[in-house]
Amino acid sequence: MALDSIDKKLLFLLQNDCKKTTAALSLKLDLSVTAVYERIKKLEREGIIDKYVVLVNRSKVEKGFVVFCHLKLIQHTKEFLTKFESEVVKLKEVLECHHVSGDYDYILKILLKDMQAYREFLVNKLTALEHIGSTHSTFMISEVKNTTVIEI
């Protein structure tokens, strides 16, 4: 689906505040409420709008300790990759898991309360997974930029 300039502006507005009413969006886009509604439905049907979410303030729910864990598997067989991926997605502390190139096989973004909680997670959950060769943890000092907005 080719996106026109109105679709792009609509996506930008929704990414910044998806709770805006179609009436409010129609004023910003200079379209009728019906036209905005139809555009949103089309973007949803086409899979361009994947889902709507709430962004939670990590520190307000005691999950302000962010760890980026670089991980190597002992082998790069399809069986080891598949097994690891099927297990890591079950870990609620892991927000993101990316299969990457370079010195490590995966990078995980992990959210916890504090260093002690990370130690317990590392010892009892992460290193309990099969086929892990090594890990390297990096701790976030401060967040300079964090956005979910994709400029189109």
Region 125-137: mean pLDDT is: 94
Record the pTM: 0.89
User: pLDDT tens, 44-102?
Assistant: 999 999 999 999 999 999 999 999 999 999 998 999 999 999 999 999 999 999 999 99
Q: Count Cα neighbours of 122 within 13 Å in the Cβ-side half-sphere.
A: 18
Task: Say if residue 1's pLDDT is above 90.
Answer: no
3-class DSSP assignment, residue 23? helix
Reply yes or no on whether the pLDDT at 107 is more than 90.
Answer: yes
Q: What is the pLDDT of residue 98?
A: 98
Token pair 């026109």: residue: 4
- pLDDT classification of 151: cutoffs 50, 70, 90: very high
* Secondary structure element (H or E) that encloses residue 99, with its range: strand 94-99
